[in-house]
Chains A and B, each alone.
Chain A
Amino acid sequence: EDQVTQSPEALRLQEGESSSLNCSYTVSGLRGLFWYRQDPGKGPEFLFTLYSAGEEKEKERLKATLTKKESFLHITAPKPEDSATYLCAVQAKENFGNEKLTFGTGTRLTIIP
């Protein structure tokens, strides 16, 4: 069974204090690992897809990396508007679309001005 574990559950940072969020996964052949951002009362918003170990993607202050067992979401010099819950999900190779997308429970990030 596919599993995704995110840590920490919650993280409070001062504005400008860089850190990383972790997503550990177990999947029977990884097709893709997805990162989403979710604001309170909103639906998840897509950030990145990573397909193979060693791949990296960046968007503004966020950088996602992938190994064979985990992914990191690095946040550099965060701002208060980066406060949100960050979700990680994996999709197994044998599945079409997202019907077997397995989500973690998320990391709630708070950036203090």
Chain B
Amino acid sequence: NAGVTQTPKFRILKIGQSMTLQCAQDMNHNYMYWYRQDPGMGLKLIYYSVGAGITDKGEVPNGYNVSRSTTEDFPLRLELAAPSQTSVYFCASSWTRPRRDTEAFFGQGTRLTVV
């Protein structure tokens, strides 16, 4: 049972570089999300997607972009990395209503350091 798979697990970027964090899920969930988790802070939503071809901004979208060409994949793009983007990034997926079981399933995270 793969669930939600994120790659890479760790990455160090230099200021101004770009990269894509990969996320794939095999549960056929329609919703997918990207969160960031900083020490002492709750998980903050960056972007989410309600299905292939549809994305929307969360609380902290600046400096990031996403796309959703398939149900399974939801990559997060960082353009012009900045030290403020040093964080742990989590991808998650879930069902939505009318199903009642809308809990999110999370990947193992990508620890990103921008130097």
Answer whether A32 and B102 are a contact pair too, CB < 8 Å, given A97-B94, A98-B33: yes
Q: What is the interface size of chain A, counting residues whose CB is below 8 A from a CB of the partner?
A: 26
- A4 contact from B42, B92, B107, Cβ within 8 A: B42
User: CA–CA, A44 to B108, complex, Å?
Assistant: 8
Query: Chain A residue with minimal CB distance to B111?
Result: A41
Whether A102 touches B109, Cβ cut-off 8 Å, given contacts A43-B90, A46-B103, A97-B94, is no
Contact present for A98 and B97 (CB under 8 Å): no
Q: Which residues of B contact A44 (CB under 8 A)?
A: 43, 90, 106
Interface contact B96-A42, CB-CB below 8 Å: no
* Complex CA distance for A98 and B50, rounded to whole angstroms: 10
Within 8 Å of chain B (Cβ to Cβ): is A34? yes
Assess the A102–B42 pair: CB atoms within 8 A: yes
Chain B positions 64 through 95: 1 when the CB is less than 8 Å from some CB of chain A, otherwise 0: 00000000000000000000000000101011
By secondary structure, the B interface counts as loop
User: Is B104 part of the contact surface with A, judged by Cβ < 8 Å?
Assistant: yes
**Cβ of B112 under 8 Å from chain A:** no
For residue A97, which residues in chain B have a CB less than 8 angstroms away from its CB? Answer: 30-31, 48, 50, 94-97, 102
* Distance between Cα atoms of A84 and B50 in the complex (Å): 31
* CB atoms of A41 and B102 under 8 A apart: no
- CB pair A43 B101 closer than 8 Å: no
Q: For the complex, what is the distance from the CA of A34 to the CA of B101, rounded to whole Å? A: 11
Residues of chain B contacted by A34 (CB below 8 angstroms): 103-104
Q: Which residues in B have their C-beta under 8 angstroms from that of A4?
A: 42
- How far apart are the CA atoms of A51 and B107 in the complex, in Å? 25
Interface 9-mer from A13-21, A62-70, A103-111: A103-111
> A42-B109, A43-B106 known; A101 and B96 CB under 8 Å?
no
On whether the beta carbons of A99 and B56 are closer than 8 Å, the reply is: yes
